[in-house]
Amino acid sequence: MKTQLINKIIRRQSGIYRKDFTDWKNAQLQAQSVENPRQYLLQNLYCEVMQDALMSSQVDTLRIGKLKASDFDLITKDGKTDEQATKDFKNKGFF
C-alpha cells in the first residue's frame, strides 16, 4: 500500500515537470513567432514562477549581486560626483 502511494506521487510529479517544461517551450516559441508573436503566455509563466518562494529568492539574489558588481557614483545637483557621499553610501551595508 505504501509503495503504491509513493509510486503514484512520483508519477504525478514527473507529469507536472513534463507539463511545465512543455508549457515553457510553447510559450517561448509563441513569443518568438515572426508572423504572430504572443507574449502573454510567457508573461503568465513568469508570474507563476515568481510566486514560487525559492525561485523568487534566487532571482532577487541575482539582482542584488548585479547591483553590487556595478560601479556607481552619487551625483550632486550641479552634476559633480560627491565622492564622500558615494563612499559613505557604499559602506552603509547596502553594497
Cα end-to-end span (Å), the chain: 54
Query: pLDDT per residue over 53-95, tens digit each?
Result: 877 788 778 777 666 667 788 899 999 999 999 888 878 766 5
Give the residue extent of every domain in the chain.
Answer: 1-39, 52-95
**pLDDT tens for each residue of 2-60:** 677 666 666 655 555 566 778 888 889 999 999 999 998 888 888 877 777 877 788 77
Q: Is pLDDT at 1 greater than 80 in this prediction?
A: no
Q: What is the pLDDT of residues 4-15, one digit of tens each?
A: 766 666 665 555
The one-letter code for the residue type at 2 is: K
